[in-house]
Amino acid sequence: MRFFTFAVAVATAASAASIPQKRSSSCSKKPGNSSSAASAPSATASSVAASSVAASSATVASATAPSATGQTSNASSSGAFEFFGVNESGAEFGTAIPGVYGTDYTWYNTSTYDTWISNGANIFRVNFLMERLTPSGLTGTIDAAYGGNLTQQVNYITSKGAYAMITPHNYGRFNGAIITDTAGFQSWWQQLAKEYATNSKVIFDTNNEYHDMDQSLVVSLNQAAINGIRAAGATTQYITPEGNAYTGAWSWTADNSASNNGATMGSLTDSADKLIYQMHQYLDSDFSGTSATCNNATTLADTLEAATGWLRANKKVGLIGEFGAGINSVCEQAVDGGLAYMQQNSDVWKGALWWAAGPWWGTYIYNAEPPTGTAYSFVQGLAQKYGVKSS
């Protein structure tokens, strides 16, 4: 998600496709306590070597709405999701490259994974920055310290039986410029995927929220990532391609033009046939994830209808990799109803992940960091209701 002021600078595309955009580049949000390392994982984790890697839409049925106190109802769910969890965000923070761990960016408290897993979560989207992983360029070597920290996170999650989705949070950019070197991007992914090729609980996310880019380039970058991952010997894991326009579910098929995600992304191929199309969906008026006010109490289900139809018509499956909403009765009802709708359409929807948790989010409106994050109690209830026990 989001255009944080602390994120890597975003370059304007020279030939961006005229497709719907989810949020304006003027949007910015900062995490709380971003200069404090008090709640960050121990910096001794930097000594972990990178080589330590472990070998047509249905009608929405009414759902019992959660209360405005931040708790979902106790009504049982069908348990149809394959994945339910949260995003972990913080390793992509900061404008300094490579930056200082504990000052410019942070990694994630492993104890919080235990908390989430005990409540039913079985997947974590581990966000990080490409420039810190390979600071010398797309084809550069993996930085031992930063790569070691990523590996420590992945190994901890997967050792608990949960899935680790590794996510370069780069918006299709590297050092602020749109990535146009598809061969270099393929090499970048081949190098990284080789480290995790034998870990069946790893999921590869090609890149977070491509936007304002030529549509054919977005498709080519996704295909390059898929090819690189499979060439690395990672042939059993899922890959989640993301679309242009911030991969918004609400705009996936918008305008029915030849340049939108729905018209182009279905052409991706995978020798392992394990693609899960990742879309994002926020519930505020412009779907930007910048407000605690939701459109109405059915907005999540409503905005997923067209994408649901696309998935089914194209014989694809999808996942909501980011969703978030304010902690109030209207938003909570919209979230609960939307997740129920997804479960009713579980032939095409595999699950969902809340945005976001992480130790530096402070008073952020969607903060789900245990135990005191603004949204934690609500999301904890969602995990208990919609979660999937790890296996």
* Residue 209 annotated in active site: yes
Number of Cβ within 10 Å of residue 52's Cβ equals 12
DSSP 263-299: HHGGG---TT--B-EEEEEE-STTSSS--S--S-TTH
| Residues 6+ away with beta carbon under 8 Å from 324 | 1, 282, 283, 289, 354, 355, 356, 366, 375
DSSP 372-388: T-TTHHHHHHHHHHH--
Please pick, among 209, 242, 305, 369, the residue that the annotation labels catalytic.
209
In terms of Cβ atoms closer than 10 Å to its own Cβ (0-12, 13-18, 19+), residue 180 is: middle
Euclidean distance between CA atoms 311 and 291, whole angstroms: 28
- Give the position of tokens 């069908």: 78
* Residue 332 annotated in active site: no
What would the two tokens of residue 301 be?
Answer: 């289900």
Number of Cβ within 10 Å of residue 337's Cβ equals 23
Q: What letter does residue 16 receive in the DSSP assignment?
A: -
Please pick, among 305, 322, 332, 369, the residue that the annotation labels catalytic.
322
Give me the active site residues, please.
209, 322
